[in-house]
């Protein structure tokens, strides 16, 4: 395994086109695109890594897997009154379908859907309380108490998040928002600004590898059926309008983030986290 990962890291190091960093969030625009990290966590507890696997990065939309898991735990199937579970085929921050679909987002991974999920799990609490619960949950999943939020990234997005504000206000115009919009958006930006390294992220995904149980800690996180369903959603729309292409080329449930990370699950085999900012 280590040889394979080293070979991949070597191949990547020779590539000249490293893509482009997300430039609409100023803090992310400043990240060096030449960095690369890859970690593979196995149910046996072994973790193999290559590249800068200790470097923290902004997990951004990968966090939506964790909030979705929390939301299903709190609300069960009634979550689906708030968001759909169909691919959107549109970019992550698109607003167009909302108009025709009465302010109900297609799925929990597009921005509108993720904002609706935050609104649904806030349940009258303060953003801080919700975020504390989310961080605790992710620390529990990754078995690592050092995971925190990068406040600078959250504030950077808060200052420039006109598109997400539009999505939230548009949903509110259909009566689809229960809480104060600024509170929901504040929580959403902080959720996206969670900083993790590839090793922590790969470990946090382990519960989706072994039928809902983290095989390393022995803790059941969700039922086998729910783990299978979360994987199904990741496969169908974890990469928004690029989901078909990702499924075709990679063939694994995955969730991307504009920080350049991807979490991919090989059921019964491994949880894989990769980071390449561009
Ligand atoms: N795809 C993403 O990672 C988008 C998340 C980002 N925080 C946004 O709301 O625009």
User: What token pair was written down for 88?
Assistant: 């959107």
CA 44 to centroid of ligand 1, rounded, Å: 32
Measured between alpha carbons, how far is 81 from 152 in angstroms, rounded to an integer?
34
Measured between alpha carbons, how far is 50 from 194 in angstroms, rounded to an integer?
22
Which pLDDT score, from 0 to 100, does residue 259 have?
A: 97
Question: b/e for 148-161, b at 16 or more Cβ within 10 A?
Answer: ebbeebbbbbbeeb
Atom of ligand 1 nearest to the CA of 192: 7
Instruction: Say if pTM beats, i.e. exceeds, 0.95.
Output: yes
Fold of the 2-275 domain: Beta-lactamase (3.40.710)
Active centre residues (catalytic): 61, 64, 188, 240, 258
Which residues form the pocket of ligand 1, taking CB atoms under 6 Å from any ligand atom?
60-61, 92-93, 111, 157, 164, 192, 257-258
Query: Rg (Cα) of the chain, in Å, rounded?
Result: 18
Closest CA to 273 of 206, 224, 211, 223: 206
The Cβ of residue 251 has, within 10 Å, a number of other Cβ atoms equal to 11
For the complex shown, is ipTM > 0.90? yes
CA 205 to centroid of ligand 1, rounded, Å: 19
On average, the pLDDT of the chain sits at 97
The answer to whether 164 is annotated as binding is yes
pLDDT tens for each residue of 108-141 = 999 999 999 999 999 999 999 999 999 999 999 9
The answer to whether 240 is annotated as binding is yes
pLDDT tens for each residue of 142-166 = 999 999 999 999 999 999 999 999 9
Which pLDDT score, from 0 to 100, does residue 209 have?
A: 98
pLDDT < 70 regions, the chain: none
CA 45 to centroid of ligand 1, rounded, Å: 31
User: What token pair was written down for 12?
Assistant: 């990547």
Closest CA to 138 of 89, 201, 80: 201
* One-character DSSP codes across 215-242: TTTTEE-S-HHHHHHHHHHHHHHTTGGG
């Amino acid at each position: 395994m280590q040889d394979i990962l080293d070979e991949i890291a070597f191949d990547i190091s020779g590539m000249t086109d490293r893509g482009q960093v997300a430039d609409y969030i100023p803090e992310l625009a400043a990240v060096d695109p030449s960095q690369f990290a890859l970690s593979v966590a196995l149910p046996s507890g072994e973790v193999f890594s290559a590249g800068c696997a200790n470097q923290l990065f902004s997990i951004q939309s990968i966090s939506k897997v964790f909030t979705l898991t929390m939301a299903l735990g709190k609300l069960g199937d009634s979550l689906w009154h708030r968001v759909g579970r169909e691919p959107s085929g549109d970019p992550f921050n698109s607003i167009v379908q909302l108009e025709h679909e009465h302010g109900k987002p297609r799925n929990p991974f597009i921005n509108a859907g993720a904002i609706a999920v935050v609104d649904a799990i806030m349940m009258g609490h303060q953003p801080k309380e919700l975020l504390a619960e989310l961080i605790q949950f992710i620390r529990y999943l990754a078995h690592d108490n050092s995971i925190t939020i990068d406040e600078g990234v959250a504030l950077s997005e808060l200052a420039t998040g006109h598109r997400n504000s539009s999505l939230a206000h548009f949903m509110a115009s259909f009566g689809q928002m229960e809480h104060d919009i600024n509170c929901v958006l504040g929580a959403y930006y902080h959720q996206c600004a969670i900083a993790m390294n590839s090793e922590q992220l790969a470990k946090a995904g382990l519960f989706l590898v072994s039928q809902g149980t983290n095989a390393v800690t022995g803790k059941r996180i969700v039922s086998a059926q729910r783990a299978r369903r979360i994987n199904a959603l990741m496969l169908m729309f974890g990469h928004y309008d690029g989901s078909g292409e990702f499924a075709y080329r990679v063939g694994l449930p995955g969730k991307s983030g504009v920080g350049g990370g991807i979490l991919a699950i090989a059921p019964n085999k491994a949880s894989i986290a990769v980071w390449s900012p561009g």
